[in-house]
Amino acid sequence: MSSTVVSLIQALASGLLVGGVYGLFSIGFSLAFGVMRIVNFAHGELVMLGMYAAYSVYLLTGADPLLAIPIVGIFLTVVGAGLYLVVYERFVGKATLQQLLVAIAISMVIQIILQMIYGPETRGVQSVLGSQYLIYGPFFFSYGQIAAFIVAVICVGVLELLLQKTRWGKLIRAVADDPEAAEIVGANSRAINTVAFAVSCCLAGIAGCVLIIYYPVNPGTGMALMPIALIATVIGGLGSIKGAFLGGIICAIVQQLTSTFWSPALQDVPLYVLLLVFLAFFPFGLLGRKTAH
């Protein structure tokens, strides 16, 4: 194999692994938009909160971030429910600019509070998985990324199952698919929205736990992740769960390809271009429904 082909395959495979985690938190972002028409600009900050929470658990107990998933997941679920009831509830269904501004304000507050607690330094954990690599011929993959990908796929599978099989899941899907019709049959209740938003934040927390294994965190991390959730969701189709997962994988692959063949510092630039192209020409994304716009 020529070195270009090796680099190409390596970039595609790494992109897939990282993309699983992007997909995981993008689903949370998409869920909030699909069900409540809330553009949660603070979503990246919530992922970062999950990363810091897992880091704290690691500091206090020495537990691997993967073991912190349940407690961090519950923590973020509570944070999400609180955030929804206190702040976002009054903006449901409108996707207004006021709502966007409030979300931006929340992201600023979370970011600064975390910076005050943990300082501006970059912090990581010594996970058993993070520093080991699976080597296969000319290719190498971090066990941390592989584990993160597996967790992401499991979570997405479980979420999909819950959405398909349970009563709450069906109600949430009904509201996401067609808010007006769901409201007519009495499905658009405060409880459904609270659950959906809490799930959205829980996914951010789980994504934070798996990200911290191989991605050290600093107070700027949330701002770096938020555009990815936004872009993945727009590419996949605003409000589409499967689309957001697919969008996350596409984002990561584009980043890896840019990084490999152009420059790591510019890995986000094509993503912004993609976002503009999709917003302007394909506002419903790859898998979105026309009603999602």
Partner 1 sequence: MSDTAMSPANGVATSRINWRLIVPVAVIALMVLLPFVVGTQSYLLGIAVRAMLFIALGQAWNVVAGIGGQLSLGHGVFFGVGAYGTAILFNSLGLTPWVGGVLGAVASIAVAGLMGAATFRLRGVYFALATVAISLCLEKLARHFIGITGGDAGLAVRFIGDSLSAAQSRSPLPFFFASLVMVVAYYVLTRRLLRSNFGYQLQAVRDDEEAAAASGVPVFRTKMWGLILSAGMTALTGALYVQFYLAIDPGAAFGLGQAIQIQLPSLIGGLGTAGGPVIGGAIMILVSEVTNWLSARTAIHGLDILAYGAILLIVVMFVPGGLLGRTRRGA
- The radius of gyration of the chain from alpha carbons, rounded to an integer in Å, stands at 18
- Measured from the CB of residue 130, what is the shortest distance to partner 1 in angstroms? 26
**Contacting positions for partner 1 (CB under 8 A):** 39, 87, 90, 94-102, 104-109, 111-113, 115-116, 120, 223, 227, 230-231, 234, 263, 265-266, 268-269, 272-273, 275-276, 279-280, 283
Kindly state the tokens that stand for 85. Answer: 């009831």
**Which residue lies nearer to partner 1 by CB, 108 or 153?**
108
**Nearest residue to 252 via CA among 18, 5, 2, 8:** 18
The answer to whether 288 touches 243, Cβ cutoff 8 Å, is yes
Q: Is the dihedral of CA 170, 285, 246, 27 positive or negative?
A: negative
Dihedral sign, Cα of residue 223, residue 228, residue 234, residue 239? negative
Shortest Å distance, C-beta 146 to partner 1? 28
C-alpha dihedral, 45 to 47 to 53 to 54, nearest 10° = -150
| Of 68 and 238, CB closest to partner 1 | 238
Compute the least distance from the CB of residue 138 to partner 1, in Å: 29
**Alpha carbon distance 59, 117 (integer Å):** 14
* Cβ at position 68, least distance to partner 1 in Å: 26
**Smallest distance from partner 1 to CB 106, Å:** 7
**Cβ proximity to partner 1, 1 vs 109, nearer residue:** 109
Residue with smaller CB distance to partner 1, 59 or 276: 276
**Nearest residue (CB) to partner 1, 41 versus 141:** 41
